[in-house]
Amino acid sequence: MSNSIYLEYNFKVTPVQPASDILIAELGEVQFESFVETEDGVQAYIKKEEWYPNILDDLQILSNPLFSIDYDFSEIEQENWNATWESNFNPIQVGQQCVIRAPFHEKPKVEYDIVIEPKMSFGTGHHETTHMMLQHILEHDFKGKSVLDMGSGTGVLAILATMKGAAAIDAIDIDNWCYLNAMENVERNNCDHINVYEGTADLLVDQQYDIIIANINRNILLEDIPTYVKCLKKGGILFVSGFYKEDISQISERCKEVGLKFEKNLEKNNWVAVKYVF
């Protein structure tokens, strides 16, 4: 993986919001795997092997008259990611309790200090979905709980759950770079109770959890929610995010079909993070 080549797209977007969020969602559907939000738009990254010349042709936002989007792109080697990361990343504070920072940032005086270096992984806490999932975790009791973090990215959600007292956590991501990066971040934060795996929901055989966290996207959630419920203990909690407010009805209908009840929703810039109980 260390020699993988990525393409870096620099998008200049007007107006920046909500266009940047829509752009990120559409890019994610065509295999872009990491994003950095900038003052004037988005930097997006895709493996060169996944790229093809007309990859942006199906992006509806590029032809939307409400937005103006210009872009260019260039090749970068994966090891050059750190320089990009350090030039763009600022610490994130979630409430008064939690800060997510890089190793080069000053140590804050908060209850939960999470140090990550995400490289090519998604889930720094900057994006609304990750931020709201962190809020959900901060608001709930994780002491002694068994937890599954699906689409774990950097591992930041699993790390906070551990810091809140979770007894055992499985963190799963389909992407190899996310898997390797989560392993690094778990070790960096001394989280001995997190087991990191590379794969999909197919790994969930005969597993049982008190709490399941899934920050992925609407289509994967709709497909995998029945699998999650098979792994959820009675009275357990499912937190899901990675989709828009208008998708809640579809997600909730799927959850209702398998015995889950809607309990709470967080919303930020039209992104949502929803709590269901079993």
The angle, 0 to 180 degrees and rounded to 10, between the axes of the packed helices 128-139 and 156-163 is 10
d(CA 101, CA 29): 28
Phi first, then psi, for residue 231 (nearest 5°) are -100, 0
Q: Give the single-character DSSP code of 225.
A: H
Q: Any binding-site annotation on 219?
A: no
Strand 41-47's sheet: what is its strand order?
Answer: 34-38, 41-47, 5-14, 68-77
d(CA 140, CA 50): 39
Of 221, 216, 2, which Cα lies nearest the Cα of 130?
A: 216
DSSP character string of 191-203: -TTEEEEES-GGG
Q: Any binding-site annotation on 215?
A: yes
Q: What share of the chain is helix, strand, coil (3-state, %, to 5)?
A: 35, 35, 35
Dihedral of the CA atoms 122, 125, 126, 127 (nearest 10)? 60
Q: Any binding-site annotation on 151?
A: yes
d(CA 42, CA 55): 17
Strands (E), 49-198: 68-77, 92-94, 98-101, 112-115, 146-150, 168-173, 194-198
The owner of tokens 């993070």 is 273
d(CA 119, CA 81): 6
List the binding residues for S-adenosyl-L-methionine. 130, 151, 173, 215
List the binding residues. 130, 151, 173, 215
